[in-house]
Every structure is written in structure tokens, then in C-alpha cells.
Amino acid sequence: MKQLALSACLAVLGVQAYAADLHIKAGSTYIIDSRQAKLNLDALTIGDKAKITLASNVDMWRVDAKEASIGYGVVIMGRGESGRDGANGISHREADKCQPGQAGGDGAAGVSGGSGADIHWSLGVVSFGSVSIDLSGGNGGRGGNGGDGQNVPDFPRCTESGGAAGNGGNGGNGGKGGSFRFHYTLADGAGDLTNSIEVKISGGLRGKGGQPGIAGIGTSGRYINKKSLSGGRSWEAGGGDGAQGHEGRAGASSANGRLDIRLINGATPTVPTEAPQNEAPNKSLEQRVKSLEILTQKLEARIRLLELDKE
């Protein structure tokens, strides 16, 4: 059973809410809404293969928990939404009689991708299985294609031009990657976190620019017989084809987010600065501190490699 006792007053005021504990069952799907965006917990428990999704109106999930037990195969989704593609410009059918060709409509710009959410955890880790987190920025939408210009039938004595081609719309920008800050302490026997976390914080890719439309075909020139005593023929120029459109500009890819994962040392037993002559120094404590420092360095190095997954 999910136990989440939130204070309504604190939620309305928008300050950090306090709850006794939060228990997300194994294999369940759980939505973090705006009421749970800031939690101060006695205990956080997430079961194996639970899937947690941050609601679209939650741009940061902050959790402070005295004790945290995290299962295996946990998935957390806070990816920015991809931007919509721009609409294509209007194309026109062939003009009637001897009317000038209408220009094709310009393609609409693609919408920029949304930024990935931020997650800030401060946990006293009792047990930790494995967690996959996606805070990538959304990709920018593609610009719409330009519409085709209108063709003009080549009627006799008609000199109208074809319609200009519509321009392609500009692509949307990629959304910024979110940040993951994880500060933690380890209980005795909590285990190694080195291979336990995968984080995606890549910025969103740029949207491509739209393609221009096809220019409308206009009337061609022709020779005509002169209505004069001298007779002869003269050249009458046609309207010609419409102007070509331009390809839309591509958007800009966005920056990666940030990672800050570190082991926070708790209260450390007092260690004599100088051991008595008849006693050896406390080697077991020194070895434990050293192993924790190495563990933290390995974890930070692994996580930073994962942000290089963008094209």
C-alpha cells in the first residue's frame, strides 16, 4: 500500500511537504504530481521494477529521506516532451482562366523541445538495487514544408506568372537536459552503488528545417503576328515561373544537464591523532574510509560517461 500523508496546508502554500513515509510498490506505476514535488520523509521505499513518472507540471523532484530502500530495475522518467512539427504551407490548384498564380504558403516553425526535469535526492541509503533515470531534453520539432505555388495555364495571350513557392519553416530548438543531484550516506552493509545507476541528461536534438515548395509554372513566351501594314512577327514574353522558396533553418541542439553524485560522510568516530605505543592504529576504520572514497570516484566516473549518448 502506498502511504503518503501530505499536509494540505503546506501543499497550498507551495513549501516543502512533510510525510512520514512514501512506499511505492514493486511493479507499480506511480505519478509524481505537484503536491509531491518536495518531500521530507522518514522513509522512502521503492519496490523492484517500479516505474515513476514526473508529471508535466513538475520540473523538479526534491526528496529528503532519513532512510531509503530502493529495489532493482526501478525506472524514473522526467524527459522533456518533444516539440511538435510545424504545419506544412498551403498548396494551390491550377489557376482558372488567365489569373495570376497564387504563392504557396510558408511552412510553420517547429516547436522547441521541453527541458528535462531536475531531481535532487538527499538520502540515507539502507539498500540500493538499480535505477535507470531519463532526464533528457526533448527534441525540437521539424519545420513545416512550404506549399507549392499555383500553376497558370498557358492560354493564348496570357502573360501571368506562376505562383511563388512557399518557404520551409524553421526547426525547433532542443530542450535542455535535466540535472540529477544525489547526495547520500550509506548504512552498514548497504552495498556498492558503482554499477547501480544509469542517468540520461542529454540535451534535445535540433529540429530540421522544412523544405521549400515547388514554384508554380507560368506562361511561356510566343511569337505573334503584327497587325500592321508591314506585317512580320514579334516576340511576346510570358509571365514565367514563380520564385523559388527557401529551406527553413535548423534549430539548435541544447546543452546536457548536470550530474552531482556524492557520498556524504556522516558522523565519524573520534580517531586518536597518535596511537599509543603499545597499540596499532585502527586499520579497519582507515580501510573503510578509503574504500568509500574509491567507490564514490568510480560511481561518478561511470555516470559521467552516460551523458555522452547524444548524436
Neighbours of 249 (CB within 10 A): 17
Quick one: which of 262, 261, 283, 259 has its CA closest to 271? Answer: 283
* Residues with Cβ within 8 Å of residue 84, at least 6 apart in sequence: 110, 111, 141
Task: Spell out the domain ranges in the chain.
Answer: 78-308
Cα–Cα distance, 142 to 80 (Å, whole number): 16
Neighbouring residues of 205: CB distance < 8 A, sequence distance ≥ 6: 139, 140, 174, 253, 310, 311
| Nine cell digits for residue 124 | 540515507
What pLDDT score was predicted for residue 158? 81
pLDDT, position 28: 96
* pLDDT tens series, the chain, 311 aa: 334 433 333 333 333 445 589 999 999 999 999 999 999 999 999 999 999 999 999 999 999 999 999 999 999 999 999 999 999 999 988 888 788 899 999 999 999 999 999 999 999 999 999 999 999 999 999 999 999 999 998 777 788 889 999 999 999 999 999 999 999 999 887 777 767 999 999 999 999 999 999 999 888 767 666 666 566 666 666 778 899 999 999 999 999 999 999 888 643 333 333 333 333 334 455 556 556 655 555 555 455 544 444 44
Give the span between the Cα atoms of 62 and 134, in whole angstroms: 16
- Are residues 162 and 215 in contact, defined by beta-carbon separation less than 8 angstroms? yes
Amino acid at 119: I
Structure confidence at residue 239 (pLDDT)? 77
